[in-house]
Chain A
Amino acid sequence: MKNHVKEFRELAGRYTSDLRHRDRIQKALAGYYTRREEHQTRFQDWAGARDLAAETKREAINHLDRYLDEFASKLEARGTKVFWAPGAREAREYIVEVARRHKVRSIIKSKSMTAEEIHLNDALEREGFEVVESDLGEYIVQLRHEPPYHIVFPAMHLTRQQISDLFHEQLGSEFTDDPEDLTMTARRVMRRKYCEADMGVSGANFAIAETGMISITENEGNARLTTSLPKVHVALVGIEKVLPKLSDLALFLPMLATAGAGQPITCYNTLYGGPRQPGEPDGPEEFHVVLLDNRRTELLADAEQRDALHCIRCGACLNACPVFKNIGGHSYGTTYQGPIGSVITPHLRGLQDWKHLSQASSLCGACTETCPVKIDLHHHLLHNRRNAVRRHPAPLEKCLQATFAFVMRRPGLYALAGQLARIAQPLQHLVQGTILDPLRPWTKTRSFPPLAPRSFRQLWRERKRP
């Protein structure tokens, strides 16, 4: 089995010392911050909008059973096939089966983090289907055989130069650093793929219970082509994507665009409610909606952290997170990076294997402050830490913490420990910087302050003495 902590430490170490990476991410996000701030002010009351969004999601999540039933039955009434997938395996098998039944050869896919979560592309390719990502960023990382770097900006870690080299190598295009030329290259490939594809796979940004529709929001128009040209459309939807009413989109679409990309509204916003109906000129002949649980109901059962299911995958918490900005998206080793990933991955993939992500945080709270649906992200990192310790305390740390508590409950012992540390301090100076230095994790990169000659308690006593 993979050692996730070790891998995380190695990658985080590599990325944090890569100053060009740091610079690139800072630059990539600089424009986002300005635009986001600008468009937030276009809301009459951004704080109020956040309250309303959180309230709407709370309602949806707290009555998920009812809303999902409503969503599914409305879809089915228009001839959509709805499949309830308890886990990733069932979802993959169902989608593979649909492809087989239709003797599909080529599949076109629009952006879906849920598909990443269940490793859908791998499963389809293993069965011999060709899968092409139609979102430009996703297409780029697909050509590089790497996972998305960021849930919204999958290729934000790459320079134009790198993308040009990649296209030259794999698609035979001319070298260029003009973004438009690069886009045109991808577009030429993509247009052919849309026409060849027998099946389109998409995710969903929202699932509207009231009308039984999925809402997809995108900037490139690729999702529209992915979902309407091929004769079969499969949409993979996490069960937490539900919104009660169609009118909720009036808040959530601009909010997602603003928080996610610093846009007033995303370019293309489409609702899909079923396959081609009699008399309609276009649209897929078959429409499947796969509703994915994959341990989301376990999170639902945790009253303390249930609000993590409010997430609309806008990526704002990643953009605000100083840890993310330094270690980058690939260090996490998860489908969902950044604070939201650190909060939910332990629930989706096991607390003991992924608790280190909750520990790798200064708990600064920038994520919680920015989250449009008000998920208590940084406090959930604390909750994950507590839950991990409760179930499996690490023996050495447990011992240290017990000693800490023992000393801190005894003021005399605490004062004595302070005095002993003053005696030991010159010894630490002798070994400072070497492997014998107990403070090495600190002193390797930072100076460490000396203990004050006299503690506050001593100074206070001296002051009181007449």
Chain B
Amino acid sequence: MKITLFIPCFVDQFYPQVGMSIVQVLERLGHTVDYPEAQTCCGQPAFNAGYWDEARAVAERQMTIFRDAEAVVIASGSCGAMVQVFYPELFRHHPREKEARILAAKTFEFSDFLVTQLGVVDVGARFPGRVTFHDGCHALRELGLKKSPRQLLQHVRGLELVEMKEAETCCGFGGTFAVKFPMISTAMGEVKCASIVETGAEYVISNDSSCLMQIQGVLDRQGKPIKTLHLAEVLART
């Protein structure tokens, strides 16, 4: 299968290894991966701030770029939700509404794609360590992804998955919310991290690097040695 990658802007700039890991896993499973270089951002920062015209302008570019893709795999639950859930809303009663819906229907968050589209739960990964999984809110509540990332982790050799008490509680990132209301965002991050620390895990895994930026940011400041990793980085290790 030919898979087209959507690498969100912050993954491109801060966490390119997440994208490379996705490439590795998909190729290991025998698929061809394509990356249209003209892609930039899904438009979520403008959308969430209420600037829907600006968001639409950015989204339109991506819609053109991914028009001919067979399946689009996106390296973030949050940006996935933007394309899958919010593009149709953003383009309601717009001439390109149908196109937005078509793109939404063929776009998948990475773990969701592996499990529900490729039917794979064991990607042949090995990762020795005690880990806990953080549900990104967009992946969990907009896309309904609770099982697939865990199914994938359960099949990683050497990995021990310990659920934290507040797996479904928001980490407090929330895009520009994190800098518009840093005190609230940080307090939420602290609650999340207390729950992570309680598990005794060495790693926090998630399907969203943006949540992990927040979690790592708080953990570092607290002097905790726990490391964050994107699910793809775990699945790429053999």
Contacts and interface: CB of A to CB of B under 8 A. Distances in A.
Interface of A: 9, 12-13, 16-17, 22, 26, 322-323, 325-327, 359-366, 368-369, 382, 385-390, 393, 397-398, 401-402, 404-405, 407-409, 411, 414, 418, 421, 441-442, 444-452, 454-461, 463
Contact of B188 (A13, A322, A365, A452): A322
A257 B144 CA distance: 27
Interface in B199-214: 213-214
Given A16-B183, A322-B170, A323-B188, 9 more contacts: A360-B184, A362-B170, A363-B174, A365-B137, A365-B141, A368-B141, A389-B51, A446-B221, A457-B35
B108 interface: no
Given A362-B174, A389-B49, A460 B37 contact: yes
Given A326-B187, A362-B177, A447-B221, A456 B19 contact: yes
Contacts of A360: 177, 180-181, 184
Nearest to A369: B141
A449 B16 CA distance: 13
Contacts of B169: 322, 366
Interface string B221-234: 10000000000000
B55 to A, nearest CB: 8
A46 to B, nearest CB: 17
Contact of B184 (A326, A389, A398): A326
A398 B214 CA distance: 26
List the 3 closest A-B pairs by CB distance, nearest first: A362-B174, A446-B217, A385-B50
B37 A457 contact: yes
Given A16-B183, A360-B181, A364-B170, A447 B188 contact: no
A311 to B, nearest CB: 20
B188 A362 contact: yes
- The bracket for how many chain B residues form the interface is 35 or more
B184 A402 contact: no
A437 B207 CA distance: 30
Nearest to A366: B170
B45 A446 contact: no
A326 B12 contact: no
Nearest to B14: A449
A368 B180 CA distance: 23
A385 B49 contact: yes
Contact of B51 (A326, A362, A401, A459): A401
B120 interface: no
A130 to B, nearest CB: 39
B206 to A, nearest CB: 14
Contacts of B191: 22, 26, 322, 325-326
25 contacts: A9-B181, A13-B183, A16-B186, A22-B187, A360-B184, A362-B174, A369-B141, A382-B48, A386-B52, A389-B49, A390-B50, A398-B51, A407-B40, A409-B57, A411-B40, A441-B180, A446-B189, A446-B221, A450-B14, A455-B13, A456-B11, A456-B19, A457-B12, A458-B16, A459-B16
B61 A441 contact: no
Interface string B36-62: 011111010111111110110110010
Contact of B46 (A9, A323, A387, A404): A404
Nearest to A393: B51
Nearest to B213: A449
Nearest to B57: A405
A1 to B, nearest CB: 22
